[in-house]
Structure 1
């Protein structure tokens, strides 16, 4: 099993953290792991993405142009990475701020309202864990107990009291992700 993932959005949305938690989770499962972040100098508010590869075999290169899964959190990332998903692959996105929804019919598309759900749970910072939960429902490539261990590794100890809330956010995401159907446009 090899899963090649791109997670993309604005800096401050927890894009890099989500990738790091996935990477730690893979390590806990004795998988080969690659975590390669990319972000602009402005960080918060600028664009950020991270490539994560989890594999049972050695990883030949962390550099990818096409992905099994794209997790998209803003319109710029949708414009840039929708076409980078392999045919038959998965695209997961939060519709908040998306004006042009995905249009491909050769991939599996899922929508999760992470922004709205995190606000309803009372903490916008758990947005990325809601999204991660949705991803894990669609692609259960790491076990939940390893994700929680990954959270402990990536969160500073002073934030460990938030692990139950993050765990609840993951569970919420697992329950709230829905398939997105591309509507065919009819021109007259």
Structure 2
């Protein structure tokens, strides 16, 4: 199994953190992992994306032109990466801030209202974990126990008290993700 994923959105949405946690979760599961972040100099408010590859075999290159899964968290990212989903692949998007929804018919499309759900949870910082939960419901590429271990590895120890909240957000994302087509 090899899964090539890109998560793209605005800086400050936790895009890079989500990729890092996913990568650590894969490591905890004994997978080969590649994590390659990309962000502009403006950081917060600018665009950011991260490519994560999880594989049972050695990864030959972290450079990917087409993805098995694209997660687009703003219109700019959707416009840029929707064409780069492999035929038969998966696109997940948050409809908040999306004016033109995805239109391809040769891929599976899911939406997850993570921004709205994070607001209901009274914690905007759970946004990326809700999205991660949606991904793991659609594509169970890592086990929840390994996500918790990945959080432990990637978060500074002073933030470990937030792991239960983050795991609740992952589980909530698994509940609210919806298939569009």
Tell me whether the two structures share a fold, i.e. TM-score over 0.5: yes
| Pairwise CA distance, 1:34 | 0.1
Q: What residue number does 1:82 align with?
A: 82
Q: Give structure 1 regions of 4+ aligned residues with deviation exceeding 6 angstroms.
A: none
- Larger of the two Rg values belongs to structure: 1
Q: What residue number does 1:184 align with?
A: none
1:173 is aligned to 2:173: yes
For structure 2, list consecutive stretches of 5 or more residues without a partner in the other structure.
none
Q: What residue number does 1:14 align with?
A: 14
Q: For residues 165 and 116 of structure 2, what CA distance do their matches in structure 1 show? A: 16
| Pairwise CA distance, 1:155 | 1.1
Deviation by residue 1:62-82 (Cα, 9 ceiling, x = unmatched): 000100000110000001000
Q: What residue number does 2:100 align with?
A: 100
| Pairwise CA distance, 1:153 | 1.1
Q: For residues 153 and 29 of structure 1, what CA distance do their matches in structure 2 show? A: 13
| Pairwise CA distance, 1:51 | 0.3
Pairing of 1:1-188 with structure 2 (within 5 A): 1-181=1-181
Partner SS for 1:87: strand
Q: What residue number does 1:185 align with?
A: none
Aligned length: 181
TM-score, length-scaled by structure 2 = 0.99
